[in-house]
């Protein structure tokens, strides 16, 4: 698979009984691709992967692969409490027909580097699928710095990309300085694609794209292609919404934007709850103000 462009970290839609809405998933992923997304990333943090059973994860992957029928790669987030379960999910994903894997550190256990390194290594070695390493020290308490990434790239040929979510855009150039074009570097936060492109990023794993794919793809393409003024004009409009991806309530907020554009619902699984009324109303006011001034793209 090619690691480039805007890949959507999709939310997981739920029915009223909080079972997974597979019909909506099939509709949603094709809508995202119709608007220019180059890949689909299910089962991540935004997808509430920690609330999904193993079998639910497998069925979501089947739905994505079947619905897209090869239009773009499906690259699930591989996250688990144990290395054994992560490896099992890798093998299931390959059997279903996924094109790549996005490796997360183990949930809960923030161990020493030799333990985290072994966990990533087991994921990379579980299949021959191309892999992306997801570095998000803010969320997971594990920081895989550029030097560690370079070592992993040297040891594992199928490690092909990094999703960089430390919040430090300098990491893009630091990784590129160590590995050159050996790895593709992706912006991993919604409020960094403009800066990341100018630093050498080749892609963006995006969240608000679930609701606003046309604007997301246009922002990335303008930034990548050096259209600095046009890109920043769109970025300035988009930033209040993009920053909703960087707070603890990011799942609820992004699903709220989806609801406002008619492409999803607010339903989340516990322990998450719907936003409290004052917080929800403040978010709605901001969302509606931005949508009322939506630029022509």
Domains of the chain by residue range: 5-292
Amino acid 138: pLDDT: 85
Amino acid 285: pLDDT: 98
The pLDDT-based confidence of 141 (bands split at 50, 70, 90) is confident
52-94 per-position pLDDT tens digit: 999 999 999 999 999 999 999 999 999 999 999 999 999 999 9
Closest CA to 158 of 107, 199, 112, 99: 99
Residue 170 has pLDDT above 90, yes or no: yes
Spatial separation of the C-alpha atoms in residues 60 and 67, rounded to whole Å: 10
Which residues are within 8 A (CB) of 192 and not within 5 positions of it... i.e. 6 or more apart?
167, 169
Spatial separation of the C-alpha atoms in residues 244 and 251, rounded to whole Å: 9
The pLDDT-based confidence of 140 (bands split at 50, 70, 90) is confident
Residue range 249-278: mean pLDDT, rounded:
98
Share of the chain above pLDDT 70, in %: 100
What is the average pLDDT score of the chain? 97
Amino acid 108: pLDDT: 80
**C-alpha angle 47/16/214, rounded to 5°?**
45
pTM of the model: 0.97
Q: Where are the alpha helices (DSSP H) in 127-169?
A: 137-140, 146-155
The pLDDT-based confidence of 139 (bands split at 50, 70, 90) is confident
Spatial separation of the C-alpha atoms in residues 120 and 105, rounded to whole Å: 7
Which residues are within 8 A (CB) of 14 and not within 5 positions of it... i.e. 6 or more apart?
20, 21, 265, 267, 268, 269
Tokens of 85: 């379960």
Amino acid 241: pLDDT: 98
Tell me the catalytic residues.
Answer: 134, 163
Amino acid 245: pLDDT: 96
Contact between residue 285 and residue 237 where contact means Cβ atoms under 8 Å apart? no
Tokens of 105: 């550190």
CATH topology of domain 5-292: TIM Barrel (3.20.20)
Residue range 234-246: mean pLDDT, rounded:
97
Q: How many other CB atoms are there within 10 angstroms of residue 147's CB atom? A: 10
DSSP output for 51-108: GS-HHHHHHHHHHHHHHHTTSS-B--EE--SSHHHHHHHHHHHHHHT---EEE-PPSS
């Amino acid at each position: 698979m090619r690691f480039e462009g805007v890949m959507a970290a999709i939310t997981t839609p739920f029915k009223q009984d909080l079972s997974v809405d597979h019909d909506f998933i099939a509709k949603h992923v094709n809508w995202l691709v119709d608007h220019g997304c180059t890949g689909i990333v299910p089962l991540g943090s935004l997808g509430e992967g920690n609330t999904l059973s193993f079998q639910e994860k497998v069925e979501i992957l089947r739905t994505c692969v079947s619905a897209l029928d090869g239009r773009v790669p499906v690259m699930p987030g591989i996250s688990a409490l144990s290395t054994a379960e992560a490896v099992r999910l890798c093998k299931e994903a390959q059997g279903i027909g996924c094109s790549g894997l996005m490796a997360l550190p183990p949930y809960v256990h923030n161990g020493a580097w030799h333990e985290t390194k072994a966990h990533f290594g087991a994921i990379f070695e579980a299949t021959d699928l191309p892999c992306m390493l997801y570095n998000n020290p803010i969320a997971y308490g594990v920081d895989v710095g550029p030097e560690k990434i370079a070592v992993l790239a040297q040891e594992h040929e199928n490690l092909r990309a990094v999703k960089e979510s430390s919040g430090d855009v300098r990491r893009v150039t630091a990784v590129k300085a160590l590995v050159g074009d050996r790895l593709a570097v992706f912006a991993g936060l919604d409020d960094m694609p403009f800066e990341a492109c100018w630093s050498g990023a080749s892609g963006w794993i995006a969240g608000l794209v679930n609701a606003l794919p046309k604007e997301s793809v246009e922002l990335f393409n303008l930034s990548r292609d050096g259209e600095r003024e046009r890109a920043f004009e769109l970025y300035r409009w988009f930033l209040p919404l993009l920053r909703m991806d960087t707070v603890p309530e990011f799942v609820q907020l992004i699903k709220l934007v989806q609801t406002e554009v008619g492409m999803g619902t607010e339903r989340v699984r516990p322990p998450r709850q719907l936003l409290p009324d004052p917080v929800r109303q403040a978010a709605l006011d901001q969302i509606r103000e931005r949508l009322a001034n939506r630029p022509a793209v």
